[in-house]
């Protein structure tokens, strides 16, 4: 009989591509992961994982088992949800990973709403970049992710996850007050091709949005200054260090000293934000109210609805 705990380990190896990284995500030692994989191979009678100098990959048999793994683990999530519902399940802790702006914009208001509508639910918050929270959900480190669409993100058809669209927002151009385009009502990205740029570090989803927007406009941005803190990005623009594209919600309540903010002309680059849980867990009596509260908070922020 196949042990479901070993299926979780197989999926972690498939997700992280190395035994060491899978072990770190699961809070196990690499030797323990290797032992569990060996036991799973013995249970199934097939070699499931091949290792080489670049890491680990699933064999054809491993890929077949992974397909069933996603279905089995989703069914276990549903079973836990139904058992929790049977036992009332109106009190407990839900851990949510979210990026800083998402915490302020939707997660904190959702927590405030839950204190009235579901006072037995305690939400524990972990700050995580917009591309880091979904892997944390898949690795069972957190229950819910508030995440940003990014290059390589699991798609809407990924059977491991259930996604709830929250909001989408444009990026605005942030220019020094003395910039040659500061008096324009809108700014075309192509008109900033020769400027020095300020932006997030590679790996941050917003970095991808900025670079792709510039590439679509026909140039590679000269990114001389890097920060994942948009307060720092705006401060640098205010010091005439360069120009930037910043998500609109990140500018709310910010001291915009020395800068002007202008909408992007034409099709503006966009950040899409969604909540994600392991497939099957969306009906859990503790998680469902959190998802509802997040969607409700997102509906009140005055931005467009994200994609699911």
pLDDT at 85: 62
pLDDT at 97: 97
pTM value?
0.70
pLDDT at 240: 96
Instruction: Provide the angle, in degrees to the nearest 10, between the axes of the packed helices 287-299 and 108-117.
Output: 120
The Cα–Cα gap between 107 and 78 comes to: 24
Cβ neighbours for 282, distance < 8 A, ≥ 6 positions apart? 81, 162, 164, 288, 291
Residue 89 — φ and ψ, nearest 5°?
A: 60, 30
The Cα–Cα gap between 257 and 190 comes to: 25
Asked if residues 56 and 11 have their Cβ atoms less than 8 Å apart, the reply is no
pLDDT at 308: 42
pLDDT at 234: 97
Exposure pattern of 4-18 as b/e (b: 16+ CB <10 Å)?
Answer: eebbbbbbbbbbbeb
pLDDT tens over the chain, length 308 residues: 788 889 889 898 888 988 888 888 888 898 898 898 888 888 888 888 888 878 888 889 888 888 888 888 888 888 877 777 656 556 788 999 999 889 999 999 999 999 999 888 999 999 998 788 999 999 999 999 999 987 777 888 888 999 999 999 999 999 999 999 999 999 999 999 999 999 999 888 899 899 999 999 999 999 999 999 999 999 999 999 999 999 998 998 898 999 999 999 988 899 899 999 999 999 898 999 999 999 999 998 877 665 44
Asked if residues 281 and 142 have their Cβ atoms less than 8 Å apart, the reply is no
């Amino acid at each position: 009989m196949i042990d479901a705990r070993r299926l979780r380990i197989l999926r972690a190896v498939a997700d992280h591509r190395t035994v060491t990284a899978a072990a770190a995500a699961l809070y196990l030692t690499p030797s323990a992961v290797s032992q569990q994989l060996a036991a799973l191979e013995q249970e199934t009678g097939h070699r499931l994982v091949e290792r080489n100098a670049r890491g680990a990959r699933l064999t054809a048999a491993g890929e077949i088992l992974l397909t069933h793994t996603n279905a089995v683990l989703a069914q276990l999530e549903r079973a836990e949800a139904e058992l929790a519902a049977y036992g009332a399940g109106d009190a407990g802790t839900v851990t949510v990973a979210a990026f800083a702006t998402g915490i302020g914009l939707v997660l904190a208001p959702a927590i405030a709403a839950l204190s009235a509508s579901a006072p037995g639910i305690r939400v524990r918050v972990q700050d995580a970049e917009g591309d880091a929270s979904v892997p944390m959900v898949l690795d069972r480190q957190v229950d819910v992710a508030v995440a940003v669409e990014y290059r390589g993100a699991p798609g809407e058809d990924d059977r491991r996850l259930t996604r709830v669209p929250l909001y989408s927002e444009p990026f605005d151009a942030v220019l020094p007050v003395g910039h040659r385009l500061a008096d324009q009502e809108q700014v075309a990205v192509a008109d900033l091709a020769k400027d020095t740029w300020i932006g997030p570090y590679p790996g941050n989803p917003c970095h991808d949005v900025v670079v792709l927007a510039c590439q679509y406009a026909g140039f590679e941005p000269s990114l001389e200054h890097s920060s994942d803190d948009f307060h720092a990005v705006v401060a640098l623009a205010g010091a005439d260090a360069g120009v930037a594209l910043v998500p609109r919600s990140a500018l709310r309540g910010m001291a915009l000293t020395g800068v002007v903010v202008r909408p992007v002309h034409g099709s503006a680059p966009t950040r899409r934000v969604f909540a994600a849980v392991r497939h099957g867990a969306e009906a859990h009596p503790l998680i469902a109210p959190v998802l509802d509260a997040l969607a409700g908070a997102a509906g009140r922020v005055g931005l467009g609805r994200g994609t699911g």
